[in-house]
Amino acid sequence: MKCQTDANKILHDNVLLIRYKAYHATCNKYSHEIAAIQKYLPEWQPAFNY
């Protein structure tokens, strides 16, 4: 069933996009806190688990 597989891929892609946008918004919201952490851990980045 190629149609169902295509629909699942589109759904997965949409979910991933929504999660990335939420991650980006959260990073923007907490940018000051992230900067404070990076003073002590310069390479640190919030994890994005997909």
DSSP 1-50: -HHHHHHHHHHHHHHHHHHHHHHHHHHHHTHHHHHHHHHHSTT-------
Q: Among all chains, which residue has been given the structure tokens 């992230």?
A: 34
pLDDT at position 31 over 80:
yes
Check if the beta carbon of residue 19 is closer than 8 Å to that of residue 49: no
Query: Mean pLDDT throughout 31-50?
Result: 94
Say whether pLDDT at 45 is over 80. yes
pLDDT at 17 (0 to 100) = 96
CA pair distance 22, 13, nearest whole angstrom: 14
The pTM for the full model equals: 0.76
